[in-house]
Structure 1
Amino acid sequence: MLAVLGSALMSVSGCAAEEPSPDRPAPFVAGSGAPVVVPGSPGGLARTATPGERIGDSDSRAAAADVRFAEAMIPHHRQALEMAGLAGAREAGDAVTALAERIAGSQGPEIATMTSWLASLGRPAPTVHAHARESEYGMATLEEMNQLRGARGAAFDSLFLRLMIRHHEGAVRMAGEELRGGTDRLMREMARDVVSGQRAEIGRMRRILG
C-alpha cells in the first residue's frame, strides 16, 4: 500500500501532465459547486480555481473534497493512534493488543502521507479535530477517552472495541465522501484503502466482541 501511495504522491508534484486514463482523470472545468484548490509554485500558497477554468492540464488534480478529506482524516487517525497506544498499559487481551498494533502500523504512515500531501499545497496539517463533528465521524468524546484511560483488562477490551468500531465506521463514511467528490489520485487511493482496510477491521472487532 505504501508503495502505491508513494508513487501517487510523486505524481502530485511531478512534471508534465499525462494523457487521460482511468487512473488520471481528464481535465475538467471548475464550476459553481465545491471550490477547486490549485497548488501554487513550490513554497507558494494554493489558490481557488475560478469558474470556467480548466483544471487538469497542470500537475494538480486536487479539489476541495481532497483537502477536506486529508484535513479531517489526520486528526481522526491521531485519535485512533491515541486509543491504540493505551492497550499495552491497560492489560488488554491478546486479540485487542494485536489489533491496536495493526492500527498503529497502518495509520501512522497514512498521517505522514497526508501531511506531506497537504504541505505540497502549502497547507499545514491540522493540530486539533473539530469537536462539533465528533458524532458525525465516530470520534470518541473527551468523556469517553477518559473512561477508556481508566479501564483495565476485559473492561478496557470491551470499551475499546465499541469505540473503535464506531470510529472506523466514521472513517469509512469520510472516505466515501472523498470518493464521491475528490479528484486527486493519491487521496482517492487512500480513501479506497480506508474503506477496504477499516471494513475488514470492523468485522474482526465485531467477532472479538461476539
Structure 2
Amino acid sequence: MNLGRRTTVAGCLLALLFGVAACDAGAAAPVPAATTGSAAPSGAGHFGGTDLAWVEINIAMNEELAPLLALAATHSSSAETKALAAETAALNDRELGTLRGLHDQAGLPAENPHKGMPMPGMVTPEQVTQAEAARGAAFDALLVRHLRAHFEQGVKLAGSEQQAGIEPQTKALAALVITGRERLLPRLKAH
C-alpha cells in the first residue's frame, strides 16, 4: 500500500474510532473519491478510506474473537451461554467470509495493520488466556463481558461505516452487522 493510501486509511481509522459520536449525530460526510486515490464515482468495487479501514478493523476484531468463542463448548457450564457462543461464532464466520471477499476486492495488503491493536471491543490474546483459565460461571461472566464490548463497538463502527462509507457492498454488510449485534445484545443482559 502506498504512503498516501496508508495515510488516508489511518485517518479514516481515527475518524472511525474517535468520531463515532459525530457520525451518530449525522455530522460525518462521505469520504470524497479524490482522497481515496481514485476519482471514480462510488459504486461496487470503489472503496473509500472509511470502507477500507472498516473492512480491516472488522476482520481483525472478528478474528480475535474466534478463539474466545471456541472455548465456550468446554469452559461454560451453561447451555444458554454455549448456544449464544455457537450462534455468535456462526455469525462471526459468515461476516469474516464476506469481509475477506471485500478485502480481496479492495486490493488490501495481506498483513492487517489492525490485528492485535488494542481498542474497544477487540479481544486480546491476554483476555483469551484469562478465559482459558476460567470455568463455569467465571468463564461465562468473562465471555459475556467481552461479547458485550465487541457487539457495542461493532454497532458503533458499523454506524460510522453507514454514515461515511461509499462502497455499497460494505455499507450493506455494516447494516447486517448492526442487525446481528442488536439482536444478540439483549441476550447478554440475561446473564
The answer (yes or no) to whether the contact 1:29–1:55 under 8 Å persists in 2 is: no
Equivalent residue, structure 1, for 2:125: 142
Q: When you count helix as a share of all residues, which structure comes out higher?
A: 2
**Aligned match for 1:30, one of 19, 30, 33:** 33
Out of 93, 100, 116, which is 1:115 matched to?
100
Question: How much has 1:145 moved relative to structure 2?
Answer: 2.1
Q: Which residue identity does 2:136 align to in structure 1?
A: G
Cα drift, residue 118 of structure 1:
1.6
Alignment RMSD, CA only?
2.2
**Match for 1:75 among 27, 48, 60?**
60
Hey, what's the Cα distance between the residues in 2 that align with 1:59 and 1:161? 36
Distance verdict in 2 for CA 1:127–1:183, change over 3 Å: closer
Q: Calculate the TM-score normalised by the size of structure 2.
A: 0.75
The answer to whether 1:178 aligns with 2:137 is: no
CA contact (8 A) 1:168 1:202 kept: yes
Once the two structures are superposed, residues 183-204 of structure 1 have per-residue CA deviations (whole angstroms, 9 ceiling, x without a partner) of 1111111111111110221111
The one-letter code sitting in structure 2 at the alignment partner of 1:109 is R
Deviation at 1:73, TM superposition (A): 0.1
Q: What residue in structure 2 maps to residue 153 of structure 1? A: 136
Q: CA–CA distance in 2 between the matches of 1:82 and 1:93?
A: 18
1:101 paired with 2:91, answer no
CA distance in 2, matches of 1:130, 1:88: 25
Identity %: 25
Query: Which TM-score applies when normalising by structure 1?
Result: 0.69
CA distance in 2, matches of 1:59, 1:200: 28
**Distance between the aligned counterparts of 1:151 and 1:29, measured in 2?**
48
- 1:140–1:163 CA contact under 8 A, matched in 2: yes
Match of 1:64 in 2: 49
- Distance across 1 between alignment mates of 2:114 and 2:71: 19
Supply the distance in 1 between the matched residues of 2:110 and 2:152 (Cα, whole angstroms): 23
Larger radius of gyration: 1
What secondary structure, in the 3-state scheme, does the structure 2 residue paired with 1:60 have? Answer: coil
Say if 2:60 and 2:114, in contact at 8 Å, map to a contact too: yes
Do the aligned partners of 2:64 and 2:116 also contact (CA within 8 Å) in 1? no
Aligned residue pairs, count:
161
Give distance in 2, aligned partners of 1:116 and 1:80. 19
Q: Is the 8 A contact 1:72 1:129 kept in 2?
A: yes
2:14 corresponds to: none
Q: Name structure 1 gaps, 5 residues minimum.
A: 1-27, 37-47
Q: Does 1:87 align with 2:72?
A: yes
